[in-house]
């Protein structure tokens, strides 16, 4: 009889433990499912400090060659061999897309750049407020990224740091056309891409990553030294659309910065 009571108690205990364990496993699976399908963000739970934990594909966000960085003139060196940059940007039909993180100009085929003998096709350009890169510790109110892709899935990104000053002709033309809500886009005829860029003769160069997940470390960064301007009103309106959509500065580690 005692053995029977013990067996009943043991069975009940095991059943309760099993139920609790199953509930815990189900909860963990539920949380994992939520995490795996959560999208990255600049604020909140999925902010830049947690990007590498959101999905396995984002693990590179904890890598040693991440972007953006602070470009210190005191640390920049003249390259042993001059970096050769040639832009073959002309006109393009454009779609302006609000992807939930930035305003992106999707570019049609036929525009490219060559960097140190390698050809990259221009895919899109987009904007960040404030700037992602800093120069000698200083943010700019706006940074524009021209994203170019080679056939081997490596990238060259041309960065334009915009300062406050005279009105931007580019923003004057397109700012009122920027879609305000995620997922919206507008087709807007053709544009002269070179009109957005300053002179490209002098720039900083270093090897880094995407500044957004998956943070792939396969990017030749070309940060132009010439800084075009935009008016205070234009910059404020743009910031109102995108808010603070910039990633914090990452460690340089053992990388070098070329300056020419």
pLDDT (tens digit per residue) in 49-98: 999 999 999 999 999 999 999 999 999 999 888 999 999 999 999 999 99
| pTM summary value | 0.84
Single out the residue of 103, 140, 134 nearest to residue 204, CA to CA: 134
119-152 pLDDT per residue, tens: 999 999 999 999 999 999 999 999 999 999 999 9
Tokens 């400090």, residue?
49
**Which is more confident, 233 or 26?**
233
CB 68 within 8 A of CB 133: yes
Mean pLDDT of 240-255: 96
pLDDT at 22: 45
Neighbouring-strand partners of residue 149: 121, 155
Residue ranges covered by each domain of the chain:
1-37, 51-259
Catalytic pick among 53, 88, 101, 227? 101
Q: Tell me: domain 51-259, CATH 3.40.50.150, correct?
A: no
Decide if pLDDT at 111 tops 70.
yes
User: What percentage of the chain reaches a pLDDT higher than 90?
Assistant: 80
**Average pLDDT over all residues of the chain:** 88
Single out the residue of 220, 256, 193 nearest to residue 85, CA to CA: 220
186 confidence band (pLDDT: 50, 70, 90)? confident
Tokens 């470009």, residue?
71
145 in catalytic set: no
28 confidence band (pLDDT: 50, 70, 90)? very low
């Amino acid at each position: 009889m005692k053995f029977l009571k013990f067996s009943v108690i043991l069975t009940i205990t095991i059943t309760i433990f099993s139920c609790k364990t199953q509930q815990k496993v189900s909860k963990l699976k539920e949380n994992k499912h939520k995490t795996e399908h959560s999208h990255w963000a600049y604020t909140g739970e999925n902010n830049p400090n947690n990007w590498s934990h959101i999905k396995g594909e984002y693990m590179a966000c904890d890598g040693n060659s991440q972007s953006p960085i602070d470009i210190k003139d005191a640390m920049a060196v003249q390259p042993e061999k001059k970096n050769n940059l040639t832009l073959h940007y002309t006109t393009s039909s454009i779609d302006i897309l609000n992807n939930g993180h930035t305003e992106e100009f999707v570019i049609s085929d036929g525009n490219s750049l060559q960097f140190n003998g390698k050809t990259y096709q221009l895919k899109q350009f987009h904007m960040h407020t404030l700037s992602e890169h800093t120069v000698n510790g200083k943010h700019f109110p706006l940074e524009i990224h021209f994203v170019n892709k080679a056939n081997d899935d490596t990238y060259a990104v041309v960065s334009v740091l915009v300062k406050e000053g005279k009105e931007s002709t580019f923003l004057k033309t397109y700012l009122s056309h920027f879609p305000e809500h995620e997922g919206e886009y507008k087709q807007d005829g053709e544009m002269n891409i070179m009109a957005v860029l300053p002179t490209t003769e002098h720039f900083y160069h270093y090897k880094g990553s995407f500044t957004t997940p998956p943070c792939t470390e396969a990017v030749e960064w070309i940060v132009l030294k010439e800084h075009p301007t935009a008016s205070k009103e234009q910059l404020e309106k743009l910031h109102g659309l995108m808010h603070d959509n910039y990633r914090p500065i990452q460690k340089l580690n053992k990388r070098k910065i070329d300056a020419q």
